[in-house]
Chains A and B, each alone.
Chain A
Amino acid sequence: MKKFARKRNSDLEKLEGRRFLNLDRIMTLLCYLILITVVILPVFMIIYYAFWDGSKIDFQMFLNVLLQKENLTAIKNTLIIAVFSTTLATVVGVFFAWLLGRSDIPLKGVMKFLFSIPFMIPPFLAAMAWDMMFSGRGGYVNRWLMNTFNLASAPFNINTVMGIIIIEVVYYFPFVYMQVVSALERMDPTLEESARIAGAKQFYVIRRITLPLTIPAISSGVLLVLITSLSNYGIPAMLGFSQNIFTLPTMIVERMNRAGGSFEGIRQATALSIVLVVVVSLALLLQRKLLTVGRYDIIKGKSMRPALIKLRAAKYPLLIFSLVFLVLVVLAPLVMILLVSFIKAYGLNFAPENFTVANYKRILINNTMVKDSVGNSLFLGFAAGIICLFLGAMLAYVIYKVKPKGRGVLELLAVLPYSLPGTVLAIGCILAWSGAFFGVTLYNTIWIILVAYVARYLTYTLKSSSASLQQVHVSLEEASRACGATHLESLRDITLPLIKPAMISGFFLVFFPAMRELTTSVLLYGPNSRTLGVAIYQLRINGQIAPAAALSVITILLIMICNNVVKRITRDKKGV
């Protein structure tokens, strides 16, 4: 009978829907249309190219590519780098999360700020900076160490698999830290207190209660790092190319470049893309498994500050260690880039007479490529941000409020590109928009980058809009209907203003990553559509290291300024 009642309920909902069908149905159809265009077509094209040789289905090529020695090495490298960097990043991240979340270590504010810096700097810039410090004999730090200690050979070499792993660790551990520290902060302190009352000592409580309860947070951090590492392009490209160390993403790009547009070359790249997607999907599956095992709610109870563990004698050694570590891994690369950007020629010593502002002059004045790239990146950031903002809000509304049949499909489609590595998405876009459909050719224009960005970042705005939309209770809209407002008026006057803050923050969630993007744009740029990332990358590849550093400094400044503006805007919002 219960079942029957529920069925009746859904009938009623349907009935209710019929009255507003026009507006709601238009939005639903629009959502399907857009998602099919930006998501389904590229994915379809990759599969099509990988298994269709022009006349018949063909698995042979796929197998051949898979078994090529250099591809096998790339797969092996990818896996080794991902596994080791994830493990180490997790250890470091959990350690700092515990230190800041549960101990009485001083200077927490300073450390929290330092943790936020890696989120602002694009990974390939960090890799470039580390390369400047530790690349074989050429690295500044290596040279200084050799001179000081009279060493015959360079003590460190960052252009190795090991080097890539270390850089990924220092770049990725804040991801784990963020997840775990927020879980620790939300955890009901009485869970730990009741263990103490039961007679358990502080460290026994950590082992038996605190750590097991944070496992869901840790595992989601782990998977985030794992997936990012698997699909990362910037770091292995910056550090590995010179030594012919390839990972799957860099190998895919390499194939595309080598192919020069030949059918066979593109097919090889698509085959590798499919391998990469399979690996990432496996990781995602693993995540889903892990997260369903540990689904419990640790957020409840009175908000009380948890008791902090006194570090006593270990307090200052730990503080010094943490600060040194953070300064080294976070600030040192920034300083390095800044210094190099003022050097006359890369390789010269940091002596006063070797400094100059010529690099800035060179890139800022008379360099159309750089000027274009700044303009392009700003345009792409704004355009992708605004498109995603409205598209995300509309999708969220359709999925959570209109609830059409098959909304699960819509949701899946919107989240799918998030798990697609940027390189793969880029190839899909190239294949789809080089005249394959309706003769639309966007290749070599800025529009293809925009389409790729929209597909890639739509998830962010969808998430922020839907989180906020789910908090807008039905009764708020019903109240306005009862006050005499039509459906459209209720949407305009009530729902939209209420989710506006989330939509704005969603915009910036898209704007920032778009500003510093490299992975996708490196495959999609054309002569007039370079982005900032591409411009820096090309300068660096062409050996113009000092100008590359100068442009990096400008990029970082630009991001920081935007970041500040955002903070000010959001603060004003709260003040009202």
Chain B
Amino acid sequence: MEHICAKYGDHIVLQDFSLAVEPGEIVGIVGPSGCGKTTAIRSLCGFLNPEKGKVTINGKTVFSREERVNVPPENRKIGIVFQDYAIWPHMSVYDNVAYPLKKRKVPKDQIPKRVTYALEQAQMTGYEKYMPSQLSGGQQQRVAIARALTSSDDIIVMDEPITNLDAKLREQMLVEIRLMQSRLNTTIIYITHDQEAAMQLCDRIVIMEKDGSICQIGTDEEIIKNPANRFVFSFIGVSNFIPVTRREGKYWVETGKGRVCYRDSKPEGYLDDAENVVMGVRPMDIVFDDKSPVKGTIEQAVFLGSLYNYFVRLGDLELRVQRSTLDALGGKEYEEGQQVGLTFLNEKYYDAKEAAAE
């Protein structure tokens, strides 16, 4: 069953955005700020009318310029959780959660039962009489989730719901949202600029670029193992980009102060037809290996607890290298000023022209 299909053509804020969400799925929409992800869900909810395209919910068209259909937001039955909670400060927790039921003309005798159920799901039982100002940020967000639950049975949109919470609480809320979703089997569309959070929570992730186009849709594994392009690669984590060339059948790193051969045979994914090629490699995938012909100097070594972070100078290039503490505990110690050999793993290759266009 196709759930939602929003299409735009020739639009600056959002370019030809198409997405189908399966029922019971958590889909994350991730992108840098200003990429149009909020525009996309505002069109879904009906706060904004797209220039072109069609929005369908549960097989029913709710917006289409061609068909002259535009269902107002109040009739689209979507639960929303906003970044700033948007809990009404003048109503108690109970009234906040009960409001959608009253507006949807649910029989009076059913309201208390459903409010209690929603609060239970959001782990806010016992707070019915509290005013929002008496609650912490995390609790307010739980109330917002409970309200979204009473507002809609099957679709909830969350717009950066945990950005305003502190780091520890964020992790906890992610786990809670996940558990709640698996109990209720609601469809959740989760908007965030934090790709880490999206990966922890979502079944599928949509990565959007600044110009409002979709770069990649896939599971966490697909996105991390096979980023569609250089933007996705650099967006989802710290990256090193190293210019490389092929000469005499071998593969060389261009350090800016000469070149070093790093591989004799053609690496997987190397672009033969591109003029200039860059290699993208994660800090964790650069390994210190004394046998490697590629030699750099450690400029700075910083202990960050879970890992060691190194800045390694390679000609004109400054590379970020990370070692997990587990490796470091068993292995050799590396200090500032020391010369090290570098081996690259899991590297990806991109056309340098594409990079310049960014």
| Cα-based distance from A286 to B47 in the complex (angstroms) | 43
B79 partner residues in chain A, CB cutoff 8 A: 482
Asked whether any CB of chain B lies closer than 8 Å to the CB of A58, the reply is no
Cβ proximity bits B67-79 to A, threshold 8 Å, 1 near / 0 not: 0001011111111
| Cα-based distance from A473 to B85 in the complex (angstroms) | 10
Q: Which of B28-49 contact A (CB under 8 A)?
A: 45-49
B100 partner residues in chain A, CB cutoff 8 A: 483-484
B45 partner residues in chain A, CB cutoff 8 A: 478, 482
Cβ proximity bits B136-172 to A, threshold 8 Å, 1 near / 0 not: 0000000010010001000000000000000000000
B78 and A482: CB pair below 8 A?
yes
Q: B142 to chain A: closest CB distance in Å?
A: 15
Identity of the chain A residue whose Cβ is nearest the Cβ of B36 in the assembled complex: A5
Partner of B104 from A480, A481, A484 at Cβ < 8 Å: A484
| Cα-based distance from A476 to B11 in the complex (angstroms) | 28
Asked whether any CB of chain A lies closer than 8 Å to the CB of B82, the reply is yes
Contact A483-B12, Cβ < 8 Å, known A12-B48, A16-B47? no
Which A residues have a C-beta under 8 Å from some C-beta of B? 1, 4-5, 8-9, 12, 15-16, 19, 473, 475-476, 478-486, 489, 493-494, 497-498, 500
A480 and B80: CB pair below 8 A?
no
Identity of the chain B residue whose Cβ is nearest the Cβ of A14 in the assembled complex: B49
Q: Which of B70-103 contact A (CB under 8 A)?
A: 70, 72-80, 82-84, 86, 88-90, 99-100, 103
Partner of A476 from B47, B49, B77, B88 at Cβ < 8 Å: B88
| Cα-based distance from A22 to B26 in the complex (angstroms) | 38
A5 partner residues in chain B, CB cutoff 8 A: 12-13
| Cα-based distance from A366 to B147 in the complex (angstroms) | 63
B90 and A497: CB pair below 8 A?
yes
B74 partner residues in chain A, CB cutoff 8 A: 481-486
| Cα-based distance from A293 to B333 in the complex (angstroms) | 58
Looking at A473, A480, A483, A494, which has the most chain B CB atoms within 10 Å of its CB?
A483
Looking at A1, A16, A479, A497, which has the most chain B CB atoms within 10 Å of its CB?
A479
Identity of the chain B residue whose Cβ is nearest the Cβ of A20 in the assembled complex: B72
Partner of B151 from A475, A482, A494, A497 at Cβ < 8 Å: A482
B49 and A484: CB pair below 8 A?
no
Q: Which 9 A-B pairs rank lowest in CB-CB distance, beginning with the nearest?
A: A483-B100, A484-B103, A475-B86, A479-B86, A475-B82, A481-B73, A482-B80, A484-B104, A5-B12
A484 partner residues in chain B, CB cutoff 8 A: 74-75, 77, 100, 103-104, 151
A15 and B12: CB pair below 8 A?
no
Number of A-B contacts (CB under 8 A): 82
B89 and A478: CB pair below 8 A?
no
A-B contact pairs, 27 of them (CB 8 A): A12-B49, A15-B48, A15-B49, A16-B48, A16-B49, A475-B84, A478-B47, A478-B73, A478-B80, A478-B82, A478-B86, A479-B82, A480-B88, A481-B47, A481-B73, A481-B74, A482-B74, A482-B78, A482-B79, A483-B99, A483-B100, A483-B151, A484-B100, A484-B104, A484-B151, A485-B99, A489-B103
B144 partner residues in chain A, CB cutoff 8 A: 479
B47 partner residues in chain A, CB cutoff 8 A: 16, 478, 481
| Cα-based distance from A419 to B311 in the complex (angstroms) | 63
* B residues contacting the other copy or chain, number (CB 8 A): 33
Identity of the chain B residue whose Cβ is nearest the Cβ of A480 in the assembled complex: B99
Identity of the chain A residue whose Cβ is nearest the Cβ of B159 in the assembled complex: A475
Partner of B103 from A16, A485, A500 at Cβ < 8 Å: A485
Identity of the chain B residue whose Cβ is nearest the Cβ of A8 in the assembled complex: B12
| Cα-based distance from A485 to B76 in the complex (angstroms) | 11
| Cα-based distance from A15 to B147 in the complex (angstroms) | 28
A476 partner residues in chain B, CB cutoff 8 A: 86, 88
B78 partner residues in chain A, CB cutoff 8 A: 482
Contact A483-B75, Cβ < 8 Å, known A4-B12, A475-B82? no
B11 and A8: CB pair below 8 A?
yes
Q: A483 to chain B: closest CB distance in Å?
A: 4
Q: A500 to chain B: closest CB distance in Å?
A: 8
| Cα-based distance from A478 to B78 in the complex (angstroms) | 12
Contact A482-B13, Cβ < 8 Å, known A473-B86, A497-B90? no
Contact A498-B88, Cβ < 8 Å, known A16-B47, A485-B74? yes
A483 partner residues in chain B, CB cutoff 8 A: 74, 99-100, 103-104, 147, 151
A9 partner residues in chain B, CB cutoff 8 A: 13
| Cα-based distance from A489 to B102 in the complex (angstroms) | 12
A4 partner residues in chain B, CB cutoff 8 A: 12
| Cα-based distance from A480 to B103 in the complex (angstroms) | 9
A473 and B84: CB pair below 8 A?
yes
Q: A411 to chain B: closest CB distance in Å?
A: 26
Identity of the chain B residue whose Cβ is nearest the Cβ of A485 in the assembled complex: B103
A8 and B13: CB pair below 8 A?
yes
Identity of the chain A residue whose Cβ is nearest the Cβ of B104 in the assembled complex: A484
| Cα-based distance from A478 to B46 in the complex (angstroms) | 10
Q: A416 to chain B: closest CB distance in Å?
A: 33
A475 partner residues in chain B, CB cutoff 8 A: 82-84, 86
B48 partner residues in chain A, CB cutoff 8 A: 12, 15-16
Identity of the chain A residue whose Cβ is nearest the Cβ of B79 in the assembled complex: A482
A1 partner residues in chain B, CB cutoff 8 A: 12
A19 partner residues in chain B, CB cutoff 8 A: 70, 72
| Cα-based distance from A478 to B144 in the complex (angstroms) | 13
Q: A293 to chain B: closest CB distance in Å?
A: 33
Q: B69 to chain A: closest CB distance in Å?
A: 13
Q: B52 to chain A: closest CB distance in Å?
A: 12
Identity of the chain B residue whose Cβ is nearest the Cβ of A498 in the assembled complex: B90
Partner of B80 from A473, A479, A497, A498 at Cβ < 8 Å: A479
Q: A490 to chain B: closest CB distance in Å?
A: 9
Q: A319 to chain B: closest CB distance in Å?
A: 39
A489 partner residues in chain B, CB cutoff 8 A: 103
Partner of B99 from A8, A12, A486, A493 at Cβ < 8 Å: A493
| Cα-based distance from A8 to B70 in the complex (angstroms) | 19
Identity of the chain B residue whose Cβ is nearest the Cβ of A13 in the assembled complex: B48
| Cα-based distance from A478 to B72 in the complex (angstroms) | 11
Identity of the chain B residue whose Cβ is nearest the Cβ of A481 in the assembled complex: B73
Identity of the chain A residue whose Cβ is nearest the Cβ of B11 in the assembled complex: A8
B90 partner residues in chain A, CB cutoff 8 A: 497-498, 500
B151 partner residues in chain A, CB cutoff 8 A: 482-484
Q: B119 to chain A: closest CB distance in Å?
A: 16
| Cα-based distance from A321 to B118 in the complex (angstroms) | 64
| Cα-based distance from A481 to B42 in the complex (angstroms) | 12
Q: A474 to chain B: closest CB distance in Å?
A: 9
Identity of the chain B residue whose Cβ is nearest the Cβ of A9 in the assembled complex: B13
Identity of the chain B residue whose Cβ is nearest the Cβ of A576 in the assembled complex: B131
| Cα-based distance from A493 to B47 in the complex (angstroms) | 19
B147 and A479: CB pair below 8 A?
yes
| Cα-based distance from A500 to B91 in the complex (angstroms) | 13
